Structure 1
Amino acid sequence: MPGLDTLAHTNPWRRRHPGEKALLALGLVGAAVALPPWPGALLVGLAASAILLGPLRLRPRQVVRAVRAPMAFVVVGSVPLLVAVGGDPLVRWAPEGLGAALALAGRATAALLCLVLFAASTPLADALPRLERLGVPPAVTEVAALVYRLLFLLLATAGTVREAQAGRLGFRTWRTTYRCVAGQAAAIFLGSFDRARRLEQGLALRGYTGSLRVQVDDRPLSVPFLVASAALVTAVVAAALVLA
């Protein structure tokens, strides 16, 4: 199981209602988007980091592992703002884009920490069934659940294939590495299609009618938690407007 999913199933907020955590995380995301980048993004990022390292009891290394891959997209999206195209020379440094790049990176990083806050405290299996009560079509949630489940199977298959290739000395040179990677991609592609076909046949033989019923635990909303979340978001917004 990937690290973020492990954290979601073992954190102290595991038994809380997903709506409580969604209110907190999405409220902070909205603040990160709506408030000025300075100091709004900084305050939102600090609040989300404090919750991750405090009540959720994550270690700094775990937080870094959770955000390092998405941060690559943040960097890639911010760098083009530092470059101007056209004129002489054709591609040149654009000092006027530095502010926009920093603002974009700050907002994106703060929003990313808020989303990690929700993902690290709420298993997807808890959130998806409750989306139907909000009006999301069952077909959407069921496809998302199946894709989520198949991802683990594909990762396990990829690991097995790679171990078999490594056991046969398939990664000795660049040439053999490219060949093994191509073979691994082909095996995973064909295996995923075969697994999907067998899954469809299994559902049809069990009388699938377009809806997969699952049991959802009834968890009451915690009024103190909701009030504290709203107070935190309000405090962040107020502090950002005062310091702006």
Structure 2
Amino acid sequence: MTLERLAYASPWRRIAPSAKALFCACAMAAAWLTATPLGACALALLLAAITVAVARTPWRDYLRVLRAPLGFLALSCLTMLVTITPGDHGPAGWRLAPELLPPVMMTVTRAAALCTALLLLVLTTPLGDLLGLLRRLRVPALLLDLMALAYRMQAVLGEAWSDGTTAQRARLGYVGRRQALRSMAALISCMAVQVWARASALQAAADARNDTGELRFLTPQFDRSPRHHLMAALAGVMLVATVLAGGPA
């Protein structure tokens, strides 16, 4: 729930979600148009600086959120540099392929730029505002309902997991490695049953209220929306033009 907490506390909370999405879409287009790893890395650093300095996201929280995708990209980079050596009767073994480093670096830096563009949006826009924007963009209602339910279940199960681990620690459930594994396995099995029970309860509640298959949400009104859209479009176009001026994709 760190993303949602930071989104509600962001000074950009009152900016129209469509304006922020427009700028982030231009940033993603610029990431795809970058021709060199250095340009993609510079774009990623620029978007991170905008998120921290302009949108005023706390840098410690930003690094904490960014740690998981950067770790995934680093692991992907290592795996892409490993190739299979063919043999007469199948694979002969594994080896590092340094000749693949240029395309791998291009892929990883471009993915990092795309990731920072997406984080700029989700760290400044709560899920409710994103759902309202997606509804205006004619995204299927079933997909939006699944997103809302998954978000709700994540919050509920996160709280239940925290309460469970607190209760287990109070009973010395993590005094040793073996005891910790046993306690964690018991909690996971209990949580699996709770997920099933809560899903059944949600379905029963929806049926009891004659659910029509679509959840409704109040959409907040945003001030100075035309100004925000104009600024987002100008900034996005400048970003794409800067990338194109750096060289062909």
CA contact (8 A) 1:24 1:229 kept: yes
* Cα drift, residue 239 of structure 1: 2.7
* Cα drift, residue 190 of structure 1: 0.4
Aligned to 2:56: 57
SS in 1 for 2:83: strand
Tell me how far apart the structure 2 counterparts of residues 236 and 137 of structure 1 sit (CA, whole Å). 31
Tell me how far apart the structure 1 counterparts of residues 214 and 86 of structure 2 sit (CA, whole Å). 58
Listed as ranges, the matches of 1:160-199 within 5 Å are 160-199=163-202
Listed as ranges, the matches of 1:1-244 within 5 Å are 2-87=1-86, 90-219=93-222, 222-244=225-247
Aligned pair in 2 of structure 1 residues 208, 231: CA closer, same or farther (>3 Å)?
same
CA contact (8 A) 1:29 1:110 kept: yes
Q: 1:19-69 CA distances to partner (integer Å, 9 max, x unpaired)?
A: 011001121012102221344313421331221122211232121111111
CA contact (8 A) 1:128 1:141 kept: yes
CA contact (8 A) 1:40 1:237 kept: no
SS in 2 for 1:13: helix
Higher relative contact order (CA 8 A, sep 6+): 2
* Cα drift, residue 184 of structure 1: 0.9
TM-score by length of 1: 0.92
Q: Percent identity?
A: 30
Task: Kindly provide the amino acid, as one letter, of the partner of residue 32 in structure 2.
Answer: V
Aligned pair in 2 of structure 1 residues 58, 215: CA closer, same or farther (>3 Å)?
closer
Q: Give the gaps of 5 or more residues in structure 2.
A: none
SS in 1 for 2:218: coil
Task: Kindly provide the amino acid, as one letter, of the partner of residue 79 in structure 1.
Answer: L
Aligned pair in 2 of structure 1 residues 233, 216: CA closer, same or farther (>3 Å)?
closer
SS in 2 for 1:191: helix
CA contact (8 A) 2:14 2:223 kept: no
Moved more, 114-123 or 173-182: 173-182
Tell me how far apart the structure 1 counterparts of residues 209 and 96 of structure 2 sit (CA, whole Å). 62
Alpha-carbon RMSD across the aligned residues, in angstroms, is 1.8
* Cα drift, residue 139 of structure 1: 1.6
Aligned pair in 2 of structure 1 residues 216, 233: CA closer, same or farther (>3 Å)?
closer
Tell me how far apart the structure 2 counterparts of residues 225 and 47 of structure 1 sit (CA, whole Å). 20
Tell me how far apart the structure 2 counterparts of residues 20 and 201 of structure 1 sit (CA, whole Å). 38
Q: Give the gaps of 5 or more residues in structure 1.
A: none
SS in 2 for 1:91: strand
CA contact (8 A) 1:71 1:109 kept: yes
Tell me how far apart the structure 2 counterparts of residues 191 and 74 of structure 1 sit (CA, whole Å). 33
Q: 1:102-135 CA distances to partner (integer Å, 9 max, x unpaired)?
A: 1121111111111110000000111113322222
CA contact (8 A) 2:34 2:110 kept: no
